[in-house]
Amino acid sequence: MAFEEKIQPIKRPIMVLGTSSGTGKSLTVTAICRILKNLGEEPIPFKGQNMSNNAWVDWDGGEMAYSQALQAFACGIVPSSEMNPILLKPQGNSTSEVIHLGESIGITTAKDYYKDWFIRGWKVIKKSLNSIYERNPNCRLIVEGAGSPVEMNLIHRDLTNLRVAKYLGANCILVTDIERGGVFAQIIGTLELMNTEEKKLIKGILINRFRGDLSLFEEGKKWIESKTQIPVIGIVPWLNDKFPPEDSLDLLENKSSDTNPEINVGIIKLPSISNFSDFDPLENEDSIKIEWIKKSQNLYKFDFLILPGSKQTIKDQIFLEECGLSQDIREYSKNKGNIIGICGGLQMLGSTLEDPFSKEGSETYSDQRIKGIGLLPLKTTFVKKKLTRQINSLSLWPCLSEINGFEIHNGITKLDSSQNILEIKPIFKDIDLGWYKENNKGGTIAGTYIHGIFENDKWRDHYINIIRKSKNLPLLDKKTRSYKMKRESIINNLANEFDKHLNITSLLN
């Protein structure tokens, strides 16, 4: 990297790097954010570039990765897209949507990204860092890296690891996952691939996900410190608290632990699933078991089905038709089945999907129109500009309740006048946010554009009580602890466990 004037923060940032993807960087940052908040500091999370379809929308309508929003919650502050200035949203075929400071600005292939977007990307990262420090001069940035910092074929165009660390002069922690095995090689190999300036930034090593007796690793700890001359500042045990997975492939491993649930929920595992954090409130319901559905099957064992959001709705609807799941869902709806579609899931439940501007890749389809599952009389047209905004509304069904959430979608959905629209009703006072209708045998089919709908406790409890009543189960206690309180409890528990095993004060000077 050519010489570049560096930022001189009042409080030296802490940066969490990993020996690979999946070492626990996101949760480590989340824990450190809460620990420092409890110490009276002013922590702010930052990740220069993230790749994820699990997004959140800030109060200015800007998209950002949900993991940085969660880290902001841990800091006790309002999330902002400046905390994640570059978000790449994969959409298949080695292409991604590029989002800078919350706004979608283009599509790129993986091959062209570093060639065409690197200079603009580094500018937007520096702009965000300077803006954060102008407004919060006494803050301490807690920075998350991405993947490995020493991918040698890409390191000259790295936007979010060592380039950021050097620009900020950050105190860096190198996190490794002992559960994967080969922890010594992970650490030594990563450090050996750094140059002298970069290696000096590593102030501590964190061993994550350790199982068993910590004393058994004492000799290993001494060897690492002797070999690297860097202290092992923490050995964190395996933790079982659930957090949103950063990669949708992890969903299959994120199964509910209740072996005798009162309610079974099936969620369709779409190839281009997005915003899977929508279902964390259900994961935290003791009486609910979630199962992810990937292939055609008899769905009658489920008390309700969810069609989640999708980054490629038409592509995923074609998948459902070809694999037989569309027909399974239609059959399920005939037998008191309860179905909820969220965003792309809402669109798929409708009668038709139209893509006149090829926002969904419909140049491969001759008529730029396909059929939906056909359970709701709705027509969706994908337009040029994406809608992203926070939502405050009032629900009319299944109860009167204030609703908070957010929207991220290209499609505009309207009632399909060619279908029977007499039975369909709006879910919200803002009628374009969702609709529902009852089945002939008592079930309901509903769809909404609101991400985070299940975080609304009263709404969630009333919907679950519809299911419980149909099964002659006692209704939920209206004093059920709110999901956001549970999330706070999980963050506190996470921070407390890290605080027991991580010497963070050594990095604060």
User: What amino acid positions are annotated as catalytic residues?
Assistant: 343, 451
* Residue labelled with tokens 């908040």: 37
Q: Residue 398 in 3-state DSSP? A: coil
Determine how β-strand 63-65 pairs with β-strand 55-57: antiparallel
Q: In angstroms, rounded to a whole number, what is the distance separating the alpha carbons of residues 57 and 78?
A: 11
Q: Return the DSSP state at 259.
A: S
Instruction: Report helix, strand or coil for 268.
Output: strand
Unique residue bearing structure tokens 């999370």: 45
Q: Which residues pair with 292 in a beta bridge?
A: 267
Distance CA 469, CA 20 (A): 47
Lay out the sheet containing 232-237: strands in order across: 43-46, 140-144, 14-18, 171-177, 202-210, 232-237
287 in Cβ contact with 460 (< 8 Å): no
Using alpha carbons, select from 134, 141, 144, 137 the residue that is nearest to residue 86. 144
Q: How many Å apart are CA 76 and CA 70, to the nearest integer?
A: 10
CA distances to 403, 460, 490 from 454, in Å: 10, 5, 17
Closest CA to 47 of 68, 21, 75, 69: 68
CB distance 436 to 328 below 8 Å: no
Query: Of the candidates 438, 442, 486, 478, which has an alpha carbon nearest to the alpha carbon of residue 461?
Result: 478
Taking alpha carbons only, the member of 40, 55, 46, 42 closest to residue 10 is 42
* Cβ(328)–Cβ(348) below 8 Å: no
